[in-house]
Amino acid sequence: LLLALTWSLLAPCRVPTVPVKNLTGSSPVNPARAGEDVPTAEHLVPAAAGLPGRDWLLFLSCLSYLVHLCVSPPTAPSSGFPPVLPCSPSDSCYPTGKTPEEVLKKYLQKVRHPPDEDCTICMERLSAPSGYKGPQPAIKPDLVGKLVKCGHVFHLHCLVAMYNNGNKDGSLQCPTCKTIYGVKTGTQPPGKMEYHIIPHALPGHSDCKTIRIIYNIPPGVQGPEHPNPGKSFTARGFPRHCYLPDSEKGRKVLKLLLVAWDRRLIFAIGTSSTTGESDTVIWNEIHHKTEFGSNLTGHGYPDINYLDNVLAELAAQGITEESLAQEKD
């Protein structure tokens, strides 16, 4: 009924459109593509202003309620999900007391006769000593090792240096093919993750309700694992609301996102690709849908490939169904 009333009021007031020009990309919302026609505020208000007083108030009331439903739909009690614990503080979720050499020993085989190719870390020949010029690890620069799962070959010297420049969490990621060894963790700052069920369907998922996830990270001071230790960081746009269909695959994605949250992989501190601001909380290569009732910015539904795409992004971070079993152990 509200939709019908709103449409009947808007129908006599066709909103003129203008082509988008001089796009700068500086808006926090992705700008429309050049050549698209979009309504502007200065066209919308005069058109609607011609309505009689009572109709104008009814129009505003209906429009306000519809926007409220899209942005903050009512909630219902969640079922079948365990409570979510806050992310741990700045210490790594999976600390290790082992030396870099001890960690790498689990993932490497020594190569006595290196192949005639470059080390993709230092770009020197594998048959020559490592070209790494930073702090020198306690390991000979001419030793070469092969990663046991993917088979890629590097100077041991270079791998130790790469490990020391990372989170030092006991995991290693092949710089060539991104195969993960061990349990990868990130540098997400402390915060809170919550979720519940919304008794409304997402566009393209009319057969089920909706899971709403709420992330909340406050501003703070960067820890030793962050780009600028001791410097404050901002946290714009929190709490952030994200949406999944309450389907079998949607619940699977949620469970894997819980693992990603626990491993501090959903957010990071860096430079915003939207605003250019540095030392701020940013998304970390796992895409989320932040629009509920529309897809104006490309971050909403319908999107038939989204669930498969985000499962692939989670797998690239080392988070698969096997991770769920590991979390239970």
Of the CA atoms within 13 Å of residue 56, those in its CB half-sphere come to 10
pLDDT digits (tens, 9 = 90+) for 16-63: 332 323 323 333 333 323 333 334 444 444 444 555 666 666 666 656
Q: Which helix (H) or strand (E) holds 4?
A: helix 2-10
pLDDT grade, residue 216 (50/70/90)? very high
Say if residues 302 and 203 touch (Cβ distance below 8 Å).
yes
Q: What is the rounded CA–CA span in Å between residue 202 and residue 60? A: 24
Q: Which domains does the chain have, with CATH numbers?
A: 2-61 (no CATH), 100-181 (3.30.40.10), 192-328 (3.30.390.130)
Name which of 179, 182, 118, 184 is nearest 154 in CA terms. 118
| Secondary structure of residue 316 in the 3-state scheme | helix
Least confident residue range of 69-73, 80-84, 243-247 = 80-84
Mean pLDDT of 110-117: 92
With residues binned 3-state (H G I as helix, E B as strand, rest as coil), the percentages for the chain, rounded to 5, are 25, 15, 55
pLDDT grade, residue 99 (50/70/90)? confident
Give the angle subtended at the CA of 282 by the CAs of 289 and 168, to the nearest 5°. Answer: 120
- Which residue has better confidence, 62 or 139? 139
pLDDT digits (tens, 9 = 90+) for 143-170: 999 999 999 999 999 999 999 888 888 8
DSSP string, 199-262: SSPBTTBTTS-EEEEEEE---EE--TTSSSTTSEEB-TTPSEEEEEESSHHHHHHHHHHHHHHH
Q: What is the rounded CA–CA span in Å between residue 201 and residue 205? A: 6
The first and second tokens of residue 224, run together, are: 């030793």
User: For the whole model, what pTM was predicted?
Assistant: 0.68
For the cut 60, the answer to whether the pLDDT of residue 75 exceeds it is no
pLDDT of residue 97: 62
